[in-house]
Structure 1
Amino acid sequence: MRKDEELRYKPVPLTDLLSQLKNLSQILMSLAYCSIFFNDDTLYKEMMELDDKIDYLKSLMIMQASLAIRGGEDAERMLSVFDMAASVDKISEVSLDIAKLAYENLSIDIGDYLFINSATNFIYVIEIDLNSPFKGKTIREAFDLVKQIFDVVAVKRERSFIISPSEDYTFVLGDKVYIKGFTETIRNILKLHRIEIDIGGLKLNREILENIIYLKNLSEFMIDIAYGALFTSSKELANELLSMEEAVDEITEQLKIDVMKDKDLIDTQKLALIEFINYCEYLADAAIDMTYSLRKDVKPHPIIEKILEETDERYAILKIGGEYEDMDIVDLGVKDFGIDVLALKREGYWYLNPPIKGWKLREGDEIIIQFYREADKEVEKILGRKR
């Protein structure tokens, strides 16, 4: 949206508006992490334009949703749509605030350490130089070269940013590429580019560092689960977010104390860390807000159900009984059919992306899994064995 463009009603389908809002807010969050963890102060102004677009789409969504309300029941069910839009707006604002820290020279330069210790998806920045195997190739050709799929979040070319370029986009010398994918995929890309990771200059206390990583991952995970709960109408998942929120509250309070007491940190470093901790807490709050009406037994609007029909992703919670005590997670049968173990809850603590082998289960454990619709029947069998 141009800054001088007037805001007027346009007949855009609600599903399209909600999908665009979700995708843009996730892009903003990825760029925010890139900004603060890789000390990239160039992203903030570009992100402001994306945030303006989100505000514009949110306004169109409110107008479109208002036209669809024809009575009390419609108004109730439309709450889920408004909950999502408000949370997306909060996520984008918090992402912008995170990037602003780097813009004001308050970054937390731990990107390489985060990458080395990341279990799943990660975002990294590479530059297309003379020796880059991506130079002169399209994104689709880069997929073939790596033999794996990854997400090109954005490309900076000279003074311009291209957000979510198509697979036909061709990389040229000097492009700065923001890529996101599984850690192993990113490792392969870095290996192709002969880029070596160096964390020798890292000065942050190890315990503080690990808790920062955990807090960032948990709050980000909560956003994913909130979308999953909303799109699958799962009150059970929505309620699990409350226990995650308790974990966030507990860790943020102690982490702030640890940061303030650390004598090796200078004041600006403490300020950056405290602010980032606060923003992670705000992201967790956005996840809670997104699922408010779901926890109140208000059935999501059919438009949300339509989004579910168009997505392949499903979620479920496995509750572990005594018969699986001391067994590995893999023994549940989750290895097959593309079932991904996202988290395990034990005695109130959430372990993200636990290994499926070598991790002994205990009675009372709860596991959140993600799978595709093709695995519905297999997951039903697994759930049946847990009941």
Structure 2
Amino acid sequence: MKELEEIKDCLIEMKNLSSLMVDLAFSSVMYDSEDIADEVYILEEKMDELTLKVKKLALRAAKYEENPEKLLSIIEMATINEQISDSAYEIADLVLRDVEPHPIIRKIMHDVDEEIGRIKVNKGSILIGQPLKQLKLPTKVGVRLIAIKRGGRYIYNPSKDEKIEEGDILIAVGSGIDRLRELSNEKGEEGEFIEEEE
């Protein structure tokens, strides 16, 4: 059934979104980043759209189900994901409302080995046109891409064949965020990729 296939795709995207939002929300507070907090805000709107879409699809699918009550679990799953995203938004909203975080938050920041960053790939970046399998970001730079925002859509857990494009927003986790910013030419400077030693 077409509706059930669409529901499956929506729920997968909602799962990815809620997980990404939680990571970004905590990171926005830890690093006092309004850019990352704004990203959570945008994702929250996307989650609301997906929740409404799943509910509408479930209602349409109920017409063809012998036991339509089974679809309630789908609506409940969508609602739970939305609640997770709402909580993530509330965390990020601390940054947007300029609430000073408790010192324990700073302590957590220092104890966390991996930073989460939101980096834009600008013109002149040597990353442009390169597939991830060639860039080997985890070993060469020390970061792992969680998602790529390209225009209005997100590519979650991008494949090794995915190529970086100018204007992409890279959402990455790792210890090499600053190096990735340099390679992405965020400051409009020319960079040189460090080849991995043989």
Give me the TM-score of the superposition, normalised by structure 2: 0.79
Q: Distance in 2 between matches of 1:380 and 1:354?
A: 18
Return closer, same or farther for 1:351/1:377 CA change in 2, 3 Å cut-off.
closer
1:239 matches 2:66: no
Residue identity matched to 1:233: D
1:304 matches 2:108: no
Higher-Rg structure is: 1
2:145 match: 341
The answer to whether the 8 A contact 1:328-1:359 is kept is: yes
What is the deviation of 1:246? 1.6
What is the deviation of 1:361? 2.9
Q: Aligned to 1:248, which of 32, 41, 47? A: 47
Structure 2: gaps spanning 5 or more residues:
188-198
What is the deviation of 1:331? 6.0
Residue identity matched to 1:314: E
DSSP-derived class of the 1:297 partner: coil
1:124 match: none
- 1:105-184 superposed matches below 5 A: none
What is the deviation of 1:337? 4.0
The answer to whether the 8 A contact 2:116-2:172 is kept is: yes
1:386 matches 2:186: yes
The CA deviation string for residues 177-231 of structure 1, in whole angstroms up to 9 with x for no partner, is: xxxxxxxxxxxxxxxxxxxxxxxxxxx9332212212112211221122122222
Q: Distance in 1 between matches of 2:182 and 2:29?
A: 24
The CA deviation string for residues 146-199 of structure 1, in whole angstroms up to 9 with x for no partner, is: xxxxxxxxxxxxxxxxxxxxxxxxxxxxxxxxxxxxxxxxxxxxxxxxxxxxxx
1:354 match: 158
2:71 match: 270
DSSP-derived class of the 2:137 partner: coil
Return closer, same or farther for 1:284/1:317 CA change in 2, 3 Å cut-off.
same
DSSP-derived class of the 1:386 partner: coil
Q: Distance in 2 between matches of 1:265 and 1:215?
A: 27
The answer to whether the 8 A contact 1:243-1:348 is kept is: no
The CA deviation string for residues 316-345 of structure 1, in whole angstroms up to 9 with x for no partner, is: 112122445533245666232431101111
Give me the TM-score of the superposition, normalised by structure 1: 0.43
1:208 matches 2:31: no
2:88 match: 287
Return closer, same or farther for 1:307/1:257 CA change in 2, 3 Å cut-off.
same
Residue identity matched to 1:244: L
Q: Distance in 1 between matches of 2:121 and 2:171?
A: 11
The CA deviation string for residues 17-46 of structure 1, in whole angstroms up to 9 with x for no partner, is: xxxxxxxxxxxxxxxxxxxxxxxxxxxxxx
Bigger relative contact order (CA 8 A; separation at least 6): 2
1:368 match: 171
What is the deviation of 1:253? 1.4
Q: Distance in 2 between matches of 1:332 and 1:301?
A: 38
Q: Distance in 2 between matches of 1:278 and 1:270?
A: 13
- RMSD in angstroms over aligned alpha carbons? 2.3
Aligned pairs, how many?
180
